[in-house]
Amino acid sequence: MIVVERHSRLQQIISQRGMADVETLAAEIAVSSSTIRRDLEALEQQGLVKRTHGGAVWIGEKTSGTIRPYAFDQRMGYRNESKLAIARVARSLVQPGQTVLIDGGTTTFYLANELLGAGQQLQLVTNSLPIANLFLNDENVELILTGGLMYPRYGVLLGPQAEEMIGTIHTKTLFFSVAGVHDSALYNQNVLLVNAERQMMRQSQEVVLLVDSSKFGQQALARLCDLSEVDVVVTDSGIDPKHLQMIEAAGCRVIVAE
């Protein structure tokens, strides 16, 4: 298979699935892993995929006749430098051997990818299929998936079953993100998502909000909680000083990722 044909086939596979790992792609296309990595690098330069540790996620336009399982991959390239900076700072809040709970989302996906690259021992609980997919072959991570009703738009598991399972575990740190922070309150797009996140907060010793500066001043469908219920806020250097003051007034520790 020539390079052009291979790239076309890779685009088709990754756009259909939303993401794929190197080993699976190499097996399906019958080439070496190193060839796939070079191909993914070329597709990333074209703005079609975002490489992760061990694979890639689709961020380009939908190809004809394909249906993407996740909407979050469309947002992977939005403010990605800010999200990556936030993720790198958040990684330092995780110590080897800890049990962490990571909610679904693009910013939390960047954090998960950073943790994967760190190669440290962890117990990881998540309701996110994209995040779980990163760790399928990682022997350092004990992966626990919440179960529940699949919400295909964001690739997360929600509903009563998910909330019941989350209620049976206890974690050191919860990492989550939101659609908006407005007047010292947090908002997200989906009522079921908010219900799951409230349960996550109850089951975690420390609650860490990962939120880029564009989310401040924004609202969404469902109100999650007061900002004061969060222990740590990690954001980027584009945050407005008045929003920094709001975070500090709520009693949260704030970390600004440069």
Residue-wise pLDDT for 146-158, tens only, equals: 999 988 777 899 9
Among 169, 155, 67, which Cα is nearest to 108's? 155
**What φ, ψ does residue 207 adopt, rounded to 5°?**
-115, 120
| Per-residue pLDDT tens over the stretch 175-196 | 999 999 999 999 998 899 999 9
Please say if the pLDDT value at position 64 is more than 50. no
Distance in angstroms (rounded) separating the CA atoms of residues 167 and 149: 16
Residue 76 pLDDT grade (very low, low, confident, very high; cuts 50, 70, 90):
low
Among 130, 159, 136, which Cα is nearest to 68's? 130
Clarify whether residues 54 and 129 are in a common domain.
no
Distance in angstroms (rounded) separating the CA atoms of residues 80 and 57: 13
pLDDT at 62: 44
pLDDT at 178: 95
- H or E element in which residue 168 lies: none
Among 140, 201, 194, which Cα is nearest to 169's? 201
What average pLDDT does range 106-111 have in this prediction? 91
- The rounded radius of gyration (Å) of the Cα atoms in the chain is 18
Residue 67 pLDDT grade (very low, low, confident, very high; cuts 50, 70, 90):
very low
Clarify whether residues 32 and 121 are in a common domain.
no
What average pLDDT does range 91-110 have in this prediction? 94
Clarify whether residues 52 and 168 are in a common domain.
no
Clarify whether residues 202 and 181 are in a common domain.
yes
Clarify whether residues 61 and 96 are in a common domain.
no
Clarify whether residues 63 and 100 are in a common domain.
no
Domain that holds residue 248: 80-257
Distance in angstroms (rounded) separating the CA atoms of residues 182 and 226: 10
What average pLDDT does range 184-212 have in this prediction? 96
Instruction: Write the CATH number for 14.
Output: 1.10.10.10
Distance in angstroms (rounded) separating the CA atoms of residues 28 and 3: 15
Q: Which long-range contacts (CB under 8 A, 24 or more apart) does 81-84 make?
A: 82/212, 82/213, 82/214, 82/236, 82/238, 82/257, 83/107, 83/110, 83/212, 84/110
DSSP annotation of 75 = G
pLDDT at 90: 97
Residue 51 counted as domain residue: yes
**What φ, ψ does residue 236 adopt, rounded to 5°?**
-105, 175
DSSP annotation of 128 = B
Total of domains in the chain: 2
Clarify whether residues 156 and 110 are in a common domain.
yes
Clarify whether residues 208 and 98 are in a common domain.
yes
Domain end, chosen from 68, 95, 125, is at 68
